[in-house]
């Protein structure tokens, strides 16, 4: 592709162990964010005690959002590090940062013990975790895509989304188990820390597995690709339109996914479900993410990336408001689970094409940098504020269906941006006749 700077490229096909190494590391990071979203109410009580439960919840989800603010910094520095030094060392660096951040959530005392120092330190811990995930997405996604067998790029890349599902299932299972085994008082006092302790135990395994990865890219260390500044300048100069398009595509995908992640809090606060029933929704959504992301990846390799993004999201647009109305009218657990299953299925089928189409549009020598920036800013702008907006809309309007209008606006923006994006990869049936892939 034009503007490539003659990188020295190795192109090993990913082994099962290597896919596991990448996905496990990503899953632990997603697990941490899923666990925080799942236990946001309890974390709010520990670090932000207040006579008004809504105030505690709002402050807690605000700290959840703060973790997103530093993601662009992680994307710029660690993403460009992957384009300069390699995907493997960048992925190891994010694991180290995540280990430190997760350890903080396990051992950090609450407000009653440390006073104002507790929420301040909580913010710092979340910022470190945000830095880690901001730098994780680019190297990990590009590694899997570049090492995928011919004609299976989208399917292999979809395993990055499967990592989210595995994280959600794990967080939900642990959360549900804790609600059964512990009293509400113990769960609120210390039980919410248990999921983060599990994540802390898994992180060394992920680090060990990633140390044995083969590299898919090695820069030639030419002056133009040797510094973070030059890589960032190259992206801003030649690919800023692609970055903006990627951010807009991620709007609908990100806000919808974080609304699904918000369902535990929604079930507790708006539908008055028991903690066990609310936690079960996290498990259900995680299963949907695993199953339908793989289906979406398989479809994207066969019918095209853009078609796989657009068609399910159009159906989702039509079902969002009726689905939320049904949930709040019936207030039945089975109705609730059925509706969010449909939402999750359409979201995940569509989401699989998003990652691979963005990666393929960036040339290889700035692929990690460009994708990382687009992904981090998209997640920061839309994911980091999502739960705050959901809670605020419901509080201001008094209407539990009000987040649906925000979801509709974001998904329309996603669809418009997708139509504008070029598709660089031929669907699977055409690969024998067209070999025009972007390396």
Q: Tell me which of 43-52, 339-348, 374-383 is least confident.
A: 43-52
Q: Higher model confidence: residue 302 or residue 52?
A: 302
Q: Tell me which of 58-62, 221-225, 227-231, 272-276 is least confident.
A: 221-225
Q: How confident is the model at residue 394, as a pLDDT? A: 93
Q: Which tokens belong to 371?
A: 């994708």
pLDDT 10s digits, 127-175: 888 888 888 888 888 888 888 888 899 999 999 899 888 887 887 788 8
pLDDT 10s digits, 243-283: 999 999 999 999 999 899 888 889 988 998 988 888 788 88
Residue 428 predicted with pLDDT over 60: no
pLDDT 10s digits, 7-39: 444 455 667 778 888 888 888 877 887 787 777
Taking the whole predicted model, whether its pTM rises above 0.85 is answered as no
Q: Higher model confidence: residue 4 or residue 398?
A: 398
Domain locations in the chain as residue ranges: 16-212+226-423
Contacts of 282 (CB under 8 A, 6+ apart): 34, 38, 168, 169, 171, 172, 175, 176, 261, 263, 264
Contact 210, 49 (CB under 8 A): no
Q: Tell me which of 43-47, 218-222, 408-412 is least confident.
A: 218-222
b/e sequence 70-79, b meaning 16+ C-beta within 10 Å: bbbebbbbbb
Cβ burial of 229 (10 Å; 0-12, 13-18, 19+) is: exposed
Select from 1.20.59.10, 3.40.50.720, 1.20.1250.20, 3.40.50.10490 the CATH code of 16-212+226-423: 1.20.1250.20
Q: How confident is the model at residue 430, as a pLDDT? A: 38
């Amino acid at each position: 592709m034009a503007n490539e700077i003659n990188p020295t490229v190795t192109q090993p096909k990913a082994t099962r162990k290597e896919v596991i190494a990448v996905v496990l590391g990503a899953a632990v990071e997603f697990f941490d964010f899923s666990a925080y979203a799942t236990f946001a109410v309890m974390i709010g009580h520990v670090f932000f005690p207040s006579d008004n439960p809504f105030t505690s919840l709002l402050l807690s989800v605000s700290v959840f959002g703060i973790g997103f603010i530093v993601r662009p910094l992680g994307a710029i520095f660690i993403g460009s590090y992957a384009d300069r030094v390699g995907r493997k060392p960048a992925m190891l660096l994010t694991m180290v940062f995540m280990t430190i951040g997760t350890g903080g959530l396990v051992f950090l005392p609450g407000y009653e013990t440390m006073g104002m120092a507790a929420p301040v330190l909580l913010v710092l811990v979340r910022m470190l975790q945000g830095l880690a995930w901001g730098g994780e997405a680019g190297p990990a996604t590009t590694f899997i895509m570049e090492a995928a067998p011919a004609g299976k790029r989208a399917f292999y890349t979809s395993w990055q989304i499967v990592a989210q599902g595995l994280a959600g299932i794990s967080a939900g299972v642990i959360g549900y188990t804790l609600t059964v085994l512990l009293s509400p008082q113990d769960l609120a006092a210390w039980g919410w820390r248990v999921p983060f302790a599990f994540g802390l135990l898994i992180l060394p395994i992920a680090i060990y597995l990633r140390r044995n990865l083969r590299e898919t890219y090695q820069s030639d260390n030419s002056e133009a690709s040797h510094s973070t500044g030059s890589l960032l300048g190259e992206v801003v100069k030649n690919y800023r339109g692609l970055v903006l398009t990627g951010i807009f595509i991620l709007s609908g995908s990100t806000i919808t996914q974080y609304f699904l992640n918000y369902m535990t809090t929604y079930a507790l606060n708006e539908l008055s479900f028991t903690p066990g029933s609310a936690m079960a929704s996290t498990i259900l959504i995680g299963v949907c993410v695993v199953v339908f992301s793989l289906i979406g990846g398989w479809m994207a390799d066969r019918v095209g990336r853009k078609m796989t993004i657009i068609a399910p999201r159009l159906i989702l647009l039509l079902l969002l408001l009726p689905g939320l109305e049904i949930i709040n009218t019936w207030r039945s657990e089975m109705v609730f689970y059925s509706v969010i299953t449909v939402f999750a299925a359409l979201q995940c089928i569509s989401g699989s094409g998003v990652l691979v189409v963005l990666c393929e549009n960036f040339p290889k020598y700035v692929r990690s940098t460009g994708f990382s920036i687009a992904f981090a800013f998209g997640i920061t702008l839309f994911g980091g504020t999502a739960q705050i907006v959901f809670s605020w809309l419901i509080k201001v309007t008094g209407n539990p269906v009000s987040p649906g209008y925000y979801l509709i606006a974001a998904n329309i923006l996603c669809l418009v941006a997708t139509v504008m994006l070029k598709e660089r990869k031929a669907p699977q049936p055409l690969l024998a006749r067209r070999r025009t892939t972007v390396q």
